[in-house]
Amino acid sequence: MAKLEAGGSYLIAPDPSLARLSRKVEGVDQTGAATMLSVVEERPLTIFLNSQEIVTAMTIGDYPEYLALGFLHNQGMLQPDETVEGVDYDEDLDLVVVRTDGQTSYEEKLKKKTRTSGCAVGTVFGDMMEGLEGLVLPQTDVRTSWLYALSSQINRTPSLYLETGAIHGTVLCCEDRPLVYMEDVGRHNAVDKIAGWMLSEDVPAEDKILYTTGRLTSEMVIKTAMMGIPVLVSRSGFTAWGVEIARSAGLTLIGRLRGQRFVCLSGESRLIRDADLGAVADEPVKLRRKGSRE
């Protein structure tokens, strides 16, 4: 199990300096002058479960093993009684094979799929609500002081999100400490990378908070609940179905966290309002409006 040091730094953090994750592209600005800007790379990654091809996802290409493992877990394709015997990545072929001690037969499930609102066209196979039946999430209290501390630190962390835009970040947190920060062109991919890391490192979920820069859609809520994480927080807004599922699953759902402001649409009774708002820097209105359009 990964050791989570109190007061420590990130266990995994973005490295925007990695050349393979972005490249310079020449363009022309509003005055007609030539300009160079960094743009994020995206490449296909095909995921196999044993000998069966499951999906090809568009991704920035980092942590492919975590992405594959987390995707299969969050789709309910890895059964609790199965043992993952290996995760093999072939960089030349852009594929990952997750090998288990069970047999794979998902033909019918693969035929029935739902395209979701996730960026890069997220895909959830089968019944989207399958796996949530009977799920009971831990009823964990959340201190508002943690939310403000997390927002402040995460927003200052060097990342592709700040360097290039056109990307989403998701951060696994414990109380007021961000632990693992993943990015990808689709917010669902970033969440799956964290799920894969947690599964690989046998990290418990009941005391964790998931922070995302993306919208709080049904898919994001379902993935968070499938991971057993009881709190989901975002700078962005909500969808009605996302709120409905969060309330049904008992997940604390907090969005529009900017400066001193946030909105809680599920699990409000678990909020402990211990923060001194006078000590929390508010975000300028201009930045709040800009972020709402991202």
Residue ranges and CATH numbers for the domains of the chain are 43-125 (3.10.20.10), 142-292 (3.40.140.10)
CA distance 222 to 131: 9
CA distance 254 to 261: 10
CA distance 78 to 70: 9
Is 196 exposed, middle or buried, given 0-12, 13-18 or 19+ CB atoms closer than 10 A? Answer: buried
CB atoms within 10 A of CB 235: 23
CA distance 170 to 233: 10
Sorted by sequence, the CB contacts under 8 Å of residue 151 that are 6+ apart come out as 211, 235, 257, 258
User: Which pLDDT band, with edges at 50, 70 and 90, does 27 fall under?
Assistant: very high
pLDDT tens digit sequence for 55-108: 999 999 999 999 999 999 988 888 878 899 999 999 999 999 999 998 777 655
User: Which pLDDT band, with edges at 50, 70 and 90, does 116 fall under?
Assistant: very low
CA distance 21 to 62: 8
pLDDT tens digit sequence for 196-238: 999 999 999 999 999 999 999 998 999 999 999 999 999 999 9
Name the residue with higher pLDDT: 155 or 107.
155
Q: 100: left (phi > 0), else alpha (psi -120 to 50), else beta?
A: beta
pLDDT tens digit sequence for 235-265: 999 999 999 999 999 999 999 999 999 999 9
pLDDT attached to residue 166: 81
User: Which residues pair with residue 271 across a beta bridge?
Assistant: 142
User: Which pLDDT band, with edges at 50, 70 and 90, does 294 fall under?
Assistant: very low
Is 124 exposed, middle or buried, given 0-12, 13-18 or 19+ CB atoms closer than 10 A? Answer: buried
